[in-house]
Amino acid sequence: MSLPRNLGDLIGRSADPEALALIELDEALTPVPYRFGELDALAGSVAAALAGRHARGERIAVLAANSAHYVATVLGIMRAGLVAVPVNFRFPRALIADVIADSGARFVFCDAKRVADLPTGLTGVVFDARAQLPARELPDHVTPFSDFVANVRATRFEPVEPLPGEAALMLYTSGSTGRPKGVVLSHESHLWVVHTRLLSQPLADERMLIAAPLFHMNALALAFLALAAHATIVMLPQFEAANYIRAVAAWRCTWLTAVPPMIAMMLQQRELLAQSDLSSVRYVRMGSAPVSATLLEQIHALLPNARVINAYGTTEGGPVVFGPHPQGLPTPPLSVGAAHPLVKLRLVDERGVEAEEGELQLRSPALLTGYHNRPDVRAPLTEDGYYRTGDVFRRDAQGFYTFVGRRDDMFVCGGENIYPGEVERLLERHPDVAQACVVPVADEIKGAKPVAFVVLKAGAQTDEATLKHYALDHAPAFRHPRRVWFVDMLPIASTNKIDRSALKVEAARRVATMAPIHGDR
């Protein structure tokens, strides 16, 4: 299929304007449908209103929960030749201000809940799709969306044709390993992503549920894909496990995309799941964090009609990295697949030498153009154009890749490298364990040692000694967790991944108040 030059122009002219593009659900699951023609016109109105106010290349921030207006606004910003900057609304207010200031944005779209989070002195537009907002209730520098586009509703805006490499998006990293970085992405990079994904599978008949935040690549890339494929999006404002299940059942969703903690929380809703018909689900695409064997087994049991895709992608490198084996070999359960034929991959060990295990480096047309305004960090691209992912993988004899752990998460215990992900997967193979998260705590002798937070399966019972012995029986001794703490659930960060930073703080607090156990070295 032919695609436009501007990433904001993904709703093709061949799309039936009356076909259902998006079903927007609020927190009460009240639906508001949007047809392709309606969503396209909304994006055009945003583009026309912005083009008369802002010079090409200016950054425009979006600070809001998921909605149809969010999607239309991002499309409209890009159509106008401007750069869309989705901002993590779960950041503290001061960090929101820092991110917007770093991006250079002087204009912000937000929703009603985030008006108070707008940085002082910036002009804003507040989405008022569901409830009209009286102007007197808004600060002087904030305009209702309906007023903002009122004079351009009937205007047909011709999208700006980008120059090679021209920026379309700036997505900020989560900041889990430091100050958030602005990842600059071009129009052509993510048009290539959309085109490549559509070549692998027709999607027009799918109904895709999006609950992950649109400020994150996982959800935003799926929204772009669905629009280009003329598929239907069912959109929740944000993830909440019970509403996620209800949305799947009520709207007969066929395609789910999520990070593993989202599915783990969904599986805890046992009574609701027992009452819900989820047989419509044909695909579950797991991304942004590794999936465990236990979780995979539970998904298959819950959704027997679904194919589970253990996917991998990054904000900087896009979601097209791995794929089926070129010789048709079945993908091992926890593998992310073989190298995609259009992507170059290599694994580089700690000596900087290519190896069968090491940091994944990749090169494809989807790569970022760079980090915005960050001369203080190492360039993300090597001299020969490969993106350093920071993720360590292992490649087997058949060419399948399996995630080992984040290089940033790795710590040294008595001279031995420990990747928390390896210990977590080991613990999650125990029949009583649903989830595990392993973090380091400081140790005078070893430098650091692993401890674990564990969520048990429903009705399961075990104890710390049992899990410690299980780890000792199935892996080298240095990897076993010196403490195991049982919790009802693991804390979730703003991107719906497990919040390791919070668990590190909690582990240090717990260790500081406990007497050492003999033989725990």
Look at the block and give the residue holding tokens 């989070």. Answer: 117
- pLDDT tens, residue by residue, 292-348: 777 788 888 888 888 888 888 889 999 999 999 999 999 988 889 999 999 999 999
- pLDDT tens, residue by residue, 46-80: 999 999 899 999 999 999 999 999 999 999 999 99
Residue 149 clears pLDDT 50, i.e. is over it: yes
Contacts for 501 with CB less than 8 Å, ≥ 6 apart = 176, 493
- pLDDT tens, residue by residue, 210-250: 998 999 888 999 999 999 999 999 999 999 999 999 999 99
Residue 89 clears pLDDT 70, i.e. is over it: yes
Is-contact 307 300, C-beta < 8 A?
no
Whole-model pTM: value is 0.85
Alpha-carbon gap, residue 178 to 377, rounded angstroms: 10
Residue 15 clears pLDDT 80, i.e. is over it: no
List the strands of the sheet with 344-348, edge to edge. 344-348, 357-363, 387-395, 401-406
- pLDDT tens, residue by residue, 402-428: 988 878 787 878 777 788 888 888 898
- E-strand ranges in 380-521 read 387-395, 401-406, 411-413, 416-418, 433-443, 447-456, 484-486
Alpha-carbon gap, residue 236 to 49, rounded angstroms: 27
For the residues 466-475, what does the mean pLDDT come to?
A: 89
Which string of DSSP letters, residue by residue, matches 407-423? TTT-EEETTEEE-HHHH
Fold of 411-512: GMP Synthetase; Chain A, domain 3 (3.30.300)
Is-contact 392 359, C-beta < 8 A?
yes
Bridge partners of 245, per DSSP, are none
- pLDDT tens, residue by residue, 353-384: 999 999 999 999 999 999 998 888 888 899 99
Alpha-carbon gap, residue 305 to 284, rounded angstroms: 10
Through-space distance between the first and last CA atoms of the chain, rounded to whole angstroms: 60
Look at the block and give the residue holding tokens 């969010």. Answer: 70
Q: Evaluate whether the domain defined by 322-340+353-406 bears CATH number 3.10.580.10.
A: no
Tell which CATH architecture fits domain 7-19+36-186: 3-Layer(aba) Sandwich (3.40)
Dihedral of the alpha carbons of 358, 258, 308, 245, in degrees to the nearest 10? 160
Alpha-carbon gap, residue 232 to 455, rounded angstroms: 35
pLDDT-derived band of residue 155, with 50, 70 and 90 as boundaries? low
pLDDT-derived band of residue 515, with 50, 70 and 90 as boundaries? low
In this predicted structure, what is the pLDDT of residue 2? 67
Is-contact 307 284, C-beta < 8 A?
yes
For the chain, what are the domain ranges?
Answer: 7-19+36-186, 322-340+353-406, 411-512
